[in-house]
Amino acid sequence: MPIVDSQTGEVRVDYSVEELEAKAQEMRAWNMISLTAAGSGHTGGTLSIMDITAALYLKHIRHDPQNPQWPDRDRVFWSSGHKAPALYVALAATGYIDDRPLTFHDEPVPGLEDISGLEQTVLLRRLGSGFEGHPNRFKLPGLEFSSGSLGQGLGVAIGSAMDAKLRGRDYNVYCLMGDGEQDEGSVWEGVMCAAHYELDNLVGIIDVNRLQIDGPTEEIMKVQPLRQKYEAFGWEVIEIDGHDMTEILEALQQADAVTGCPALILAHTIKGKCVDFAEDVVGYHGVPPKDGRYGEESLERALECIGACEQFPPERVDDLLAIAETYQAYVDQRVAESMPKFSQDYWWNHGDTMQAEMDATRNGFGHAIAELSADEKVVAHGADITDSIRMDYFYKPDGKNEDPERKKRFFSMGIAEANMALVASGLAKEGRIAFIGSYGVFATGRNWDQLRTTVGYNDFNVKIADAHGGISVGPDGATHQALEEISLITCLPNFKMIVPCDALETARATKAIAAIQGPAVVRYAREATSVVTSEETPFEFGLANVIRYRGEQERFIDAFETTLACDYQSEGEVIAIIACGPMVPEAMRAAWILKEDYGIETRVVNAHTVKPLDAEAIASAARDAEVVITVEEHQVGGFGNLVAGVICKAGLGGDVKLDMVGVEDRYGESGQSWELMKVFGLTAEHIADKARKLLEL
Amino acid sequence: MPIVDSQTGEVRVDYSVEELEAKAQEMRAWNMISLTAAGSGHTGGTLSIMDITAALYLKHIRHDPQNPQWPDRDRVFWSSGHKAPALYVALAATGYIDDRPLTFHDEPVPGLEDISGLEQTVLLRRLGSGFEGHPNRFKLPGLEFSSGSLGQGLGVAIGSAMDAKLRGRDYNVYCLMGDGEQDEGSVWEGVMCAAHYELDNLVGIIDVNRLQIDGPTEEIMKVQPLRQKYEAFGWEVIEIDGHDMTEILEALQQADAVTGCPALILAHTIKGKCVDFAEDVVGYHGVPPKDGRYGEESLERALECIGACEQFPPERVDDLLAIAETYQAYVDQRVAESMPKFSQDYWWNHGDTMQAEMDATRNGFGHAIAELSADEKVVAHGADITDSIRMDYFYKPDGKNEDPERKKRFFSMGIAEANMALVASGLAKEGRIAFIGSYGVFATGRNWDQLRTTVGYNDFNVKIADAHGGISVGPDGATHQALEEISLITCLPNFKMIVPCDALETARATKAIAAIQGPAVVRYAREATSVVTSEETPFEFGLANVIRYRGEQERFIDAFETTLACDYQSEGEVIAIIACGPMVPEAMRAAWILKEDYGIETRVVNAHTVKPLDAEAIASAARDAEVVITVEEHQVGGFGNLVAGVICKAGLGGDVKLDMVGVEDRYGESGQSWELMKVFGLTAEHIADKARKLLEL
């Protein structure tokens, strides 16, 4: 069924196979341009799925881009949400986006009033553009659902297919999945369920590109033979070359015709298809087109490989990339306007003094795990984002070369966080100190019941690397920005949790959780943040530090004095800022601002250990100060309410003025890391602004 | 390998096949006696697994009951933890328990100083006995891990098998699973992983008794053909009659000999095997031996079926059951002694006045879902505990007869909570109001990432029946007592949550969450608790009620006056108790105690809506009272810290003393519902005791 007018049934467009092939190449070109403009995103998978995408949206499915909510439309569920750029160019190419005015915060962007839908796709991953790193159904038309956490699309597609049966509607439901995604147990729950309900209006399509982030699926987690697996689960399976347009179209028709059971199309593809430097290359998963051989010309080379140079000559490409720049300049200006203002610009490394060294907390984890892995008792597990969270340092202690003995103690688990927690428990039970890790959403949320009942209730020595904590994850967007782990973990008996403030403290925290008995979590972030501790800074598990601003210095770190809270004598500070994680450097910067602009002394409490919390340090701060502000890169209150609980139990609840800085009960979004920190109100400026309001300055 | 002395290698016992068959029957008898003594527990599955249990523990595995931690022992992982009674009799029958002195809180129980290990098994599910409803590895020797949440054992067994490979140890690892359990996706993650790592020291055993709680697996969720599924996943599969001792022993030897991949024994069994009234009967899952035909003589009949009457004549059975009674009497006395004392006994329905009607909040859910299901827009899903959580009222609106139209809108999902949340999302996406439900641990924890990213981020109209909330779940123990849902849910954007106080309010809360847009949760409990509201009691979503004690009456409910908090004028109460859920009746009873014993007026705030919380009601209460006590049947602070956050942010400018009543950062345990409430400090007496301490009375 081609694209139709849902009112009249008239065909709007009907492409030939040759035209479709050409369209798929054009879509590849747009895809590469948008990824280049974004500077991040998923090259490999968008290129492997592009022919199937073109076949579906431009030819096979019944839909009407002028009526996205048409009840009789076929539904396509993108379970692999990271392939969003391919989806976006398909939506643009079929006309979903053209009528959507480009705005930022509901206002038109000057100079970009008239850009087409396809041109808009170059705003991929930009704040407010709607082209989120992973699809958000509220931000673009034509999306069936918001996705990005693997293994969740099939179940939703099943629900949609069930509803069609229940109402007697004849639409078809398609679910696009990856082969690495088949590691996830929730997929197999869905596979079983779809067969149980004999959903013959459901077609699964697996983009079998044979590579996942950490390596070939064959090495990371053998998912094959998928044909036999799906057949044993009661599906009818069709295998094709996922880059042969005729085969794709025939397979879709064949799959639609299956009766009595769901159908699966196993589409054999090449990751990075058509772009020579990306084709079949591990490591071309979550990166935009850039290649050592072609440097700045990587996009040019990619377009050449695709055969799109005529359609996209350099000047056209420049114009397109300029759209993104124009947009970003406008956004920058609007974001800057929204920031609280002070007598001068106190931003990181803005002036000549107060220079801060920046390093990502995840690097601190990497350095510590490299040290810890020397101990044979320590084992570690990977969940297919091993490099990204720096777990690879476990077996590459120098950051480069694999140590064969340590590699034997590293277990690749695939994208299967529940099983990872369980397997680690088994190893811990036998006397190991077992590290697991992933992005926080998956490492503490996808496996929460396993953490509670197997890890926690058994008090096993499982240690969790809770990576990508916070909004500062950036362009990947909401699905990958963990904002709830403090709530998830602190409610669990036997668990301990540290949220360290910088790279060095993360290394120390990692070693601390390895050394204590029982389950423990270290939460850390992706983006480089200010290093505010040194080897001399006190660090004791379970004890908070007090940090005091002592006057401007050449180096930011030297402007502060840090002591264990239990050793600190009050100096009559007016404000206490109680913080954890990389919000501690922001709190310190707020102390600097408040002193310089208002002459106010601030006690910053670095409560790195959030379970058990240093109640005495918090109670003292609340007792001594007039105003308390809690600060967290987390859903507000996850940490703040713990602090409030301590203050109330100390009998101080009525006496202090307290406010909380954090994410205000909303999901994250795509944008640059620091841009998001500003937009979500998580900077020193916001803290200082809250303080001056509470003090009525 | 028979039971050996781990020091000398000498064989301790070596049974013949005939002896094993007799032992298995004797173990069945002990099992039925312990279940009868407990008055709850899993008859069907313990009888289907018993021959395999006997074969493993009495004959096949290498172990030494005198040295439970022997590093070279074979490991058996009971993934189906609910079959614990079979495990306990096996441990007792092989001598693990004999040397363990029976104590309660580390003190010997008078009159029971010398009972044998097998005799101790009659203390199944009793508080402090160690024979938890589901195994706890800290409470008995011979347990590899604590289990009870299905689908978690295989991964732990894999970790143990990996460790053996890593250290070059030659022990074997066995994992016992059920066939219904194969619904869980985490099982398939493990199945894939075990084959990936070629764990030929791992043997899976599935007790294929073909029945799960809600019905035959064929109807609830087709798991078959399990042979083809496991083979496609790379396992070697052996099928046997799970009640033929020779076949069992041969299969175990054959499985041990498999090389290059894990082995699976598919043991075809009969649920309830050997006990005629339980054999192959749906509904004989989680109930002790009792049958209409045999009434009080059900145990006698069971022993007759088993052929154990000679070994267990009536007087011997009576003696054994008396052990449980002696133990319980001692426990009752100790628990009573531990309770705070007042001028009289204020316990529920203890005196002639203040009579309370008791009803389980889950019944309120049932009544509401029966009403709601009249609306075609409403659909519902079951996760194999449909009756227990009263979700069956969806299609049995009168509690008895199925309505065929409504049944079509009910979807059985099997034991697959992640997929349930996703499928419901798909139906919600198509315009339905989709109810899902299970015990809270599974309904909000097992699927947390699905709730966050698919349900919440998409703002889908999915409604969650969070059943079995709290410690009062009783004898099932920690794994089934949900104590963390308020923390898990309130941190999620777009979610709403109500924790109603009684059966009637649960019905109203259920209707309220159906009526509001977006994801919402109602938390309710298993045990009957006091009905303290009527149709006249105000109930507004998002608004708290104030409840005031007005003097003793014949009926408890008439002794109190309830108004919306926003309509209430302070009467200068000294204490505010802020509560949610069935702790509200406890708070009311505390108000009664405090008034009668100390003349103190108490404002009880029923904050049924925990998200969004009625901040004004809480702030007013804190402003007016000297002392605030938060009360929750939950890990302490999950609710209490939310209240503390409100109080601190309100900036009251005066003294508030606050304390919290809740579960003190520990897992639950087995016991009778009210007994646990007392032991965990969750009664009116504990609240009143905290109040008098805070007021220094």
The residues with which A360 forms a beta bridge, in sequence order, are A528
Q: What is the DSSP letter of A643?
A: H
Quote ipTM for the complex.
Answer: 0.98
A183: which chain B residues are within 8 Å (Cβ-Cβ)? 189, 192
B100-115 burial, b at 16+ Cβ within 10 Å, e below that, comes to bebebeeeebeebeeb
A146: which chain B residues are within 8 Å (Cβ-Cβ)? 453-454, 457-458
Which residue shows structure tokens 């004028």? B569
- pLDDT score at B1: 63
Cα end-to-end span (Å), chain B? 66
CB B381 within 8 A of CB B436: yes
Contacts of B585 by beta carbon, 8 Å cutoff, 6+ apart: B356, B501, B502, B529, B530, B532
Report residue B31 as tokens: 């099992």
CA distances, A520 to each of A64, A374, A637 (Å): 51, 20, 21
A164: which chain B residues are within 8 Å (Cβ-Cβ)? 430
Query: How far, in Å, CA of B612 to CA of B633, rounded?
Result: 19
CB-side neighbour CA atoms (13 Å) of B201: 22
- pLDDT score at B182: 98
CB B371 within 8 A of CB B380: no
- pLDDT score at A653: 86
A408-445 burial, b at 16+ Cβ within 10 Å, e below that, comes to ebbbbbbbbbbbbbbbbbbbbbbebbbbbbbbbbbbbb
Cα end-to-end span (Å), chain A? 66
Report residue A598 as tokens: 């208002």
- pTM of the predicted model as reported, rounded to 2 decimal places: 0.98
- Decide: helix, strand or coil at residue B475: coil
Query: How far, in Å, CA of B673 to CA of B473, rounded?
Result: 6
Cβ-defined contact of B423 to A156 (cutoff 8 Å): yes
Nearest Cα to Cα of residue B585 among B534, B530, B515, B641: B530
- Decide: helix, strand or coil at residue A303: helix
Sign of CA dihedral B578, B582, B583, B588: positive
Strand B211-212 and strand B215-216: pairing? antiparallel
DSSP string, B483-496: --HHHHHHTSTT-E
CB-side neighbour CA atoms (13 Å) of A624: 23
Cβ-defined contact of B628 to A640 (cutoff 8 Å): no
Distance from CA of B260 to the nearest CA of A (A): 15
Amino acid residing at A491:
C
B188: which chain A residues are within 8 Å (Cβ-Cβ)? 185, 188-189
Contacts of B186 by beta carbon, 8 Å cutoff, 6+ apart: A185, A418, A419, A422, A450, B151, B152, B154, B155
The residues with which A605 forms a beta bridge, in sequence order, are A546, A578
Chain B interface, best mutation among A183, A186, A486, by max B CB count within 10 A:
A186
pLDDT along chain A (697 residues), means of 10: 88 94 98 96 96 98 96 98 98 94 92 95 98 97 97 98 98 98 98 98 98 95 98 98 98 98 98 95 85 88 96 97 97 98 98 97 98 98 96 96 98 98 98 98 97 98 98 96 98 98 98 98 97 98 98 98 98 97 98 98 98 98 96 98 97 91 98 98 98 94
Distance from CA of A184 to the nearest CA of B (A): 6
Q: Where are the beta strands (DSSP E) in A526-651?
A: 528-530, 545-549, 560-564, 575-579, 602-606, 609-611, 627-635
DSSP string, B159-202: HHHHHHHHHT----EEEEEESGGGGSHHHHHHHHHHHHTT-TTE
CA distances, A339 to each of A348, A675, B666 (Å): 14, 11, 44
Query: How far, in Å, CA of A230 to CA of A248, rounded?
Result: 19
Query: How far, in Å, CA of B394 to CA of B369, rounded?
Result: 5
B644: which chain A residues are within 8 Å (Cβ-Cβ)? 641, 644-645, 647-649, 653
CB-side neighbour CA atoms (13 Å) of A67: 16
- pLDDT score at B411: 98
CB B470 within 8 A of CB B525: yes
CA angle B425, B428, B433 (to 5 degrees): 125
Per residue in A414-456, pLDDT tens?
Answer: 999 999 999 999 999 999 999 999 999 999 999 999 999 999 9
B180-209 burial, b at 16+ Cβ within 10 Å, e below that, comes to bbbbbbbbbbbbbbbbbbebbbbbbbbbbb
Report residue A26 as tokens: 């054009």
Cβ-defined contact of B136 to A457 (cutoff 8 Å): yes
- pLDDT score at B283: 81
A494: which chain B residues are within 8 Å (Cβ-Cβ)? 667
Q: List chain B residues with pLDDT less than 70.
A: 1
Query: How far, in Å, CA of A360 to CA of A582, rounded?
Result: 9
- pLDDT score at A1: 63
Surface-to-core class of residue B259, CB atoms within 10 Å of its CB (0-12 exposed, 13-18 middle, 19+ buried): exposed
CB A207 within 8 A of CB A371: no
- pLDDT score at A654: 85
Torsion, Cα A536 A542 A543 A549, to 10 degrees, reads 70
Report residue B566 as tokens: 């926003």
Per residue in B394-443, pLDDT tens?
Answer: 999 999 999 999 999 999 999 999 999 999 999 999 999 999 999 999 99
Distance from CA of B31 to the nearest CA of A (A): 25
Q: Across the interface, which of B228, B457, B644 has its CB nearest the CB of A648?
A: B644
Give the residue on B whose Cα is nearest the Cα of A629: B649
Q: How many helices (H) and strands (E) does chain B have?
A: 24, 26
